Homo-oligomer: A and B are copies of this chain.
Amino acid sequence: MNAVATQQGNRIYATGREARLAVRRGEHRGPTAGIAPGYVQGNLAILPKALADDFFRFCHYNPKPCPLLAASEPGDPRLPALGEGIDIRTDIPLYRVWRNGELVAEVPDLKALWRDDLVAFVIGCSFSFEEALIEDGIELRHISCGTNVPMYRTNIPTTPAGPFHGPVVVSMRPLKPADAIRAVQITSRFPSVHGAPLHLAKPEVIGIKDVMKPDYGDAVEVKADEIPVFWACGVTPQSVIAAVRPEFSITHAPGYMLVTDLKNSRLAIL
């Protein structure tokens, strides 16, 4: 393990597995951005089996906002497709517990809450494609500003499955037009982490009245020579689940992700 630190002062780990084990041991308790460069991080949603089949179908029907990286067997906390020895009950620094759609607790592990009927879904996240954009020299405003990416509910409907339905939520990154074109090329290579943008310029066309007033995250400046570029966002499944008000569900706390053994570069299709 090396002792390099992230901008937030976090230690940086050489592999996803080392980062995950540090989380499990309680050595790493903060947000996970940047703690294992090059490794895929994922959003978490845990649902009772009674809802899991419909949610699985929902992800399949909506691959851009809900790119499913893996799902566990009911009651099984392992996710072998994503990493050696993952225990979804202990390997995320902070969880949110929901009852009937209300946030009831934030907890550092699920040891006391795990049930035999729970299914864990891990959904791709924009960290992977953002790493590829930054490596190409494209500035991402929310990262330069150290804020959360701005996110918006749109007028684009998801394809429903069982009780799950609702609008697509998008994230927005302001880019110069030539960088927007390059960003379409780069993110098209990453279909399992939201893929190409859904939309660009003309926010009103997708129901966004004011880009300076995001529904989630923080506003960032769009300069005169830039256009807003919109990607489908992993907040979509969270807002869709919240709308169903399941008797019990668990998500990661925003920014506290599952670090996997998959390399970002291996998600690229070309």
The answer to whether A200 and B180 touch across the interface, beta carbons within 8 angstroms, is yes
In the complex, what distance in Å separates the CA atom of A208 from the CA atom of B196? 28
A201: Cβ under 8 A from any B Cβ = yes
B227 near A202 (CB under 8 angstroms)?
A: yes
CB <8 Å contact, B225 and A198: no
Contact with B along A87-120 (1 / 0, CB 8 A): 0000000000000000000000000000000000
> Is the C-beta of A10 less than 8 angstroms from some C-beta in chain B?
no
Kindly report which residue of chain B lies nearest to residue A183, judged by CB atoms.
B184
Complex CA–CA separation, A176 to B205 (angstroms): 9
Interface readout for A179-191 with B: 1 if CB under 8 Å, 0 if not? Answer: 0110011001000
Q: Pick from B185, B188, B201, B270: contact of A177, CB below 8 A.
A: B201
Whether a CB of chain B sits under 8 angstroms from the CB of A178 is yes
Interface of A is mostly: mixed
Q: How many angstroms from the CA of A202 to the CA of B202 in the assembled complex?
A: 11
Q: Across the interface, do B177 and A202 meet the contact criterion of CB distance under 8 Å? A: yes
Q: Which residues of B contact A181 (CB under 8 A)?
A: 184, 196-200
Task: Indicate the member of A177, A185, A188, A270 with the most B CB atoms within 10 Å.
Answer: A177
Q: Which of B197, B205, B227 contacts A225 (CB 8 A)?
A: B205
Q: Nearest-CB distance from A214 to chain B (Å)?
A: 19
- Residue interface mask A114-128, B partner, CB < 8 A = 1: 000000000000000
Question: A181-B184, A184-B184, A185-B184 in contact; A200/B201 too (CB < 8 A)?
Answer: yes
Residues of B within 8 Å of A205, CB to CB, are: 176-177, 225
Residue interface mask A4-29, B partner, CB < 8 A = 1? 00000000000000000000000000
Would A177 and B196 count as touching, CB distance under 8 A? no
A201 / chain B contacts, CB cutoff of 8 Å: 177, 200-201, 227
Question: In the complex, what distance in Å separates the CA atom of A200 from the CA atom of B270?
Answer: 24
